[in-house]
Chain A
């Protein structure tokens, strides 16, 4: 005899099935296109070649400062895209912070590279990096090597993506070595718009990673071992996680009474995955622009 409850459940199912669809495919697709247009404002050209040491500097200062004006992400994206794409004048050029997110090539041996440089005025702890812009413009810039940075190993083709929701903003740099594939994230800086206890924010962030396929959350020390953040930010916690063959490391840093999540990922056995991987990248965190 069929369970009475099951009968009721089957009856309810029939009525659920009768409910007409509300959404329409076209509006869903339009929404996707709109969101994708917003988030894919920039792609680094693929012709930039691998160097032994690649310095990717990210003017994290502006991003760090930007959390003070939550909701102003559109402006930030615009500015970042413009910084990448050209040296053209921009309405944002007068703002306090600048976003520098450029790639530069250096010799393997940094010390050697210093000695070969003719710029005598440069401090010993600075490195001169050549930055490339989309339109083929190159410029050289001295950068303090001892300031905030972390390093990781990766390819040099990247694209930048900003993802914003009501809850949080995520600035992401992806490898771009297999077309549009957004996997894995090389660098991410995220922050939640609401202030909460750090444990609560970590739970939320881990839930987001879970949704993206990450499992096995464990304590980590990647950033503690590979990062210098100067005295304006401190690592309060770290963890690692795994998704298939990708290992990701996350550090939570405290800056201006905010918690920021920085993340980098690496393939497990990356050298076998792609011969172009293996270049060292330094994410320079421009301390001068921290505010």
Chain B
């Protein structure tokens, strides 16, 4: 089904592309939020991701589409925040923080809120493998493709990421 849609979309069929968007929009939004995009910016980032996918879809001819989608999302997010840093304004930062807090309150219980916060504090090299593996069901090989590193590097990062999270729990008096 997805293969057919991809083929049609590559031939310029906008209906097929629209169906691909429908199929993957949640994944993109979820991944963007998990890797640190503020709820205020999720719409903008998601639009940019699909614009890039639309423009470069014809270049995608190897590997899983979702793997590529994660890579595009990561790059868009990096780009987005690089720009944002250049135009940082405290008031906007404050509003964003408030909105993010409300968003988290709405959807997470206390335990998940805590873990979400800890994951956000991890360096990107540790954060992304955890997110892709546990929240998106990607195996180590797929994660290696997304990140452009070896499978061995992914394994090491996963191990280190989990150690870091456990250490954080220890800091708050919880032994895992």
User: Does any Cβ of B come within 8 Å of A138's Cβ?
Assistant: no
User: Does any Cβ of B come within 8 Å of A211's Cβ?
Assistant: yes
User: Does any Cβ of A come within 8 Å of B59's Cβ?
Assistant: yes
Binding site for A on B (CB under 8 A): 12, 14, 17-18, 21-22, 25-26, 29-30, 33-34, 39, 42-43, 46-47, 50-52, 54-56, 58-59, 71-72, 75, 78-79, 82-83, 86-87, 107-109, 111-112, 115-116, 130, 134-135, 162, 165-166, 169, 176
Considering only residues 165-180 of chain A, those with a C-beta below 8 Å from chain B are 165-167, 180
User: Does any Cβ of B come within 8 Å of A213's Cβ?
Assistant: yes
User: Does any Cβ of B come within 8 Å of A124's Cβ?
Assistant: no
A32 with B29, Cβ < 8 A, contacts A9-B130, A9-B134, A167-B82 known: no
B135: nearest residue on chain A (CB-CB)? A13
A22 with B162, Cβ < 8 A, contacts A5-B176, A11-B112, A182-B58 known: no
Cα–Cα, bound, A21→B21 (Å): 12
Cα–Cα, bound, A23→B45 (Å): 10
Contact of A183 among B58, B109, B112, B134 (CB under 8 A): B58
| Cβ B86 vs Cβ A194 within 8 A | yes
Contact of A212 among B25, B59, B130 (CB under 8 A): B59
| Cβ B51 vs Cβ A32 within 8 A | yes
Cα–Cα, bound, A172→B54 (Å): 17
User: Does any Cβ of B come within 8 Å of A47's Cβ?
Assistant: no
Chain B residues contacting A21 (CB-CB under 8 Å) are: 25-26, 29
| Cβ B86 vs Cβ A28 within 8 A | no
Cα–Cα, bound, A207→B26 (Å): 26
Would you mind naming 30 contact pairs between A and B with Cβ atoms under 8 Å apart?
A5-B169, A6-B134, A8-B115, A12-B135, A13-B135, A16-B30, A16-B34, A16-B135, A19-B33, A22-B29, A22-B42, A22-B43, A23-B46, A23-B47, A25-B18, A27-B43, A28-B21, A28-B46, A29-B18, A32-B54, A165-B83, A166-B83, A167-B86, A180-B12, A181-B58, A183-B59, A210-B75, A211-B52, A211-B71, A212-B56
Chain B residues contacting A199 (CB-CB under 8 Å) are: none
Binding site for B on A (CB under 8 A): 3-6, 8-13, 15-19, 21-25, 27-29, 31-32, 35-36, 165-167, 180-183, 194, 204, 207, 210-213, 243
Cα–Cα, bound, A30→B56 (Å): 17
A19 with B30, Cβ < 8 A, contacts A5-B165, A27-B47, A212-B56 known: yes
Q: In terms of DSSP, what is the predominant structure of the interface of chain B?
A: helix
| Cβ A23 vs Cβ B134 within 8 A | no
Q: B15 → chain A, closest Cβ, in Å?
A: 10
Q: A196 → chain B, closest Cβ, in Å?
A: 10
Chain B residues contacting A10 (CB-CB under 8 Å) are: 134
Q: A13 → chain B, closest Cβ, in Å?
A: 5
Q: A138 → chain B, closest Cβ, in Å?
A: 32
Cα–Cα, bound, A35→B25 (Å): 19
Chain B residues contacting A11 (CB-CB under 8 Å) are: 111-112
Q: A191 → chain B, closest Cβ, in Å?
A: 15
B136: nearest residue on chain A (CB-CB)? A13
A11: nearest residue on chain B (CB-CB)? B112
| Cβ B25 vs Cβ A4 within 8 A | no
Cα–Cα, bound, A54→B43 (Å): 45
Cα–Cα, bound, A25→B47 (Å): 9
Contact of B115 among A12, A35, A165, A183 (CB under 8 A): A12
**Nearest 9 Cβ contacts at the A-B interface:** A4-B176, A211-B75, A9-B134, A23-B46, A12-B112, A166-B83, A31-B47, A25-B22, A15-B112
| Cβ B111 vs Cβ A8 within 8 A | yes
Cα–Cα, bound, A24→B28 (Å): 12
